[in-house]
Amino acid sequence: MGKLDGKSAIVTGASSGIGLATARTLAREGAAVVLAGRTLQPMVDAAAQISQAGGKAFPRVADVRDEKQVRAMVDYAVQQGGGLHVMVNNAGVNRFDNVLDGSVDAWREMFEVNVIGLLIGCREAARVMKEQGSGHIVNVTSVSARSVEPGNAAYAASKHAADAISEALRRALLEHNIRVTNILPGAVLTNLARHMPQEQLFALARMFGIDPDQVGVQPGQHLPPEILERVGQATASVLLKPEDVAEAVLYAVCQPETVHVNEVVVRPARLLPLSFMSP
Ligand SMILES: NC(=O)c1ccc[n+]([C@@H]2O[C@H](COP(=O)([O-])OP(=O)(O)OC[C@H]3O[C@@H](n4cnc5c(N)ncnc54)[C@H](OP(=O)(O)O)[C@@H]3O)[C@@H](O)[C@H]2O)c1
């Protein structure tokens, strides 16, 4: 018997990294999970694997910046799962951009996905959870909501904003029996690194013994899975695995109703000695 049997969940940003691992983990524990994101194929593949293992999973293309798509996604989850018990607002981007010579497009994208997208996800989940009389909203923010590096101002600002939204929402939803948890990961080995400036991405690859030219690392594109695996083996103590964060989400949503886990900070054992890698 799973810890989430009979529950329904949505995970945004489930085509990759932390979201994909979280969707798999919640499904493993019996939840019917909608995997939501912009890139369909990895979600279709994951849903097929979850179904083969006896779980329930439903891939759904949705851009979290689009309120109509998010509303339709929430209604779809209610139809498929008989309600919405867990909403994981995880979709996020990091353009590794600073203030002094940063780009407005990159700042705008980070705020639209990490802040507006999260606001829409919270509002739409709360809409159905209030009617239901219970629910749990989990927002994946970052340790960048607490500490700021010079090269990561806009991303950190977006995560500070997400933290503030969760705090306000927690108070607003207390009387509706809806819990709100922030998950604050440190550095995690995922595709988030794909938007690093090329020289930093390549320097990082070389630091871990990988020649980026030979393996075809392309800034802006998902990293080849074998590269993620090779880097993972070399970096276990400085980078978390997506599954480590997924287990923190599971912990938060499996507590008794009287226990509110407001936030979980999950860090690797040691810090990467690179300021531009601030997550
Ligand atoms: N990796 C870290 O070190 C780290 C640390 C702290 C916090 N976080 C946070 O963890 C969350 C997940 O990131 P990750 O590390 O797992 O990175 P990732 O592997 O790049 O995954 C990000 C996910 O978000 C999706 N996404 C981006 N924009 C979207 C949009 N507009 N609508 C819907 N989905 C969208 C991506 O889908 P597409 O690829 O299809 O665009 C992808 O599935 C983010 O909020 C990130 O800020 C990450």
Q: Is the pLDDT of residue 276 over 70?
A: no
The residue from 58, 107, 155, 276 that is catalytic is 155
pLDDT of res. 273: 62
Task: Give the lowest-confidence range in 6-10, 139-143, 246-250, 273-277.
Answer: 273-277
Task: Give the lowest-confidence range in 45-54, 116-125, 221-230.
Answer: 221-230
Our answer on whether the CB atom of 64 is closer than 6 Å to any ligand 1 atom is yes
pLDDT of res. 47: 98
With b for 16 or more beta-carbon neighbours within 10 A and e for fewer, the 100-128 pattern comes to eeeeeebbebbbebbbbbbbbbbebbbeb
pLDDT classification of 215: cutoffs 50, 70, 90: low
Question: Which of 97-106, 169-178, 190-199, 232-241 has the largest mean confidence?
Answer: 169-178
Mean pLDDT across 198-209: 79
Mean pLDDT across 148-152: 88
Mean pLDDT across 99-114: 95
Our answer on whether the CB atom of 113 is closer than 6 Å to any ligand 1 atom is yes
pLDDT of res. 191: 84
- Residue pair 145/279 in contact (Cβ under 8 Å)? The answer is no
Mean pLDDT across 34-62: 98
Domain ranges (residues) in the chain: 8-189+239-277, 191-234
Q: Which atom of ligand 1 is nearest to the CA of 245?
A: 10
- Residue pair 130/189 in contact (Cβ under 8 Å)? The answer is no
Our answer on whether the CB atom of 93 is closer than 6 Å to any ligand 1 atom is yes
Q: C-alpha angle 91/1/122, rounded to 5°?
A: 25
Closest CA to ligand 1's atom 5: 279
Q: Among this protein's residues, is 155 annotated catalytic?
A: yes
Mean of all residue pLDDT scores within the chain: 92
**Is CATH 1.10.20.10 the right assignment for the domain spanning 8-189+239-277?**
no
Q: Which atom of ligand 1 is nearest to the CA of 144?
A: 6
Q: Which two tokens stand for residue 57?
A: 């999973």
Mean pLDDT across 158-174: 97
- % of the chain surpassing 70 pLDDT: 96
Our answer on whether the CB atom of 158 is closer than 6 Å to any ligand 1 atom is no
Mean pLDDT across 220-236: 77
Task: Give the lowest-confidence range in 46-55, 111-120, 162-171, 206-215.
Answer: 206-215
CB atoms within 10 A of CB 13: 28
| DSSP-H helix ranges across the chain | 17-28, 40-52, 67-81, 104-111, 118-132, 153-173, 198-207, 212-215, 225-234, 242-253
Closest CA to ligand 1's atom 17: 192
pLDDT of res. 193: 77
Mean pLDDT across 213-239: 76
Q: Which two tokens stand for residue 227?
A: 């590269």
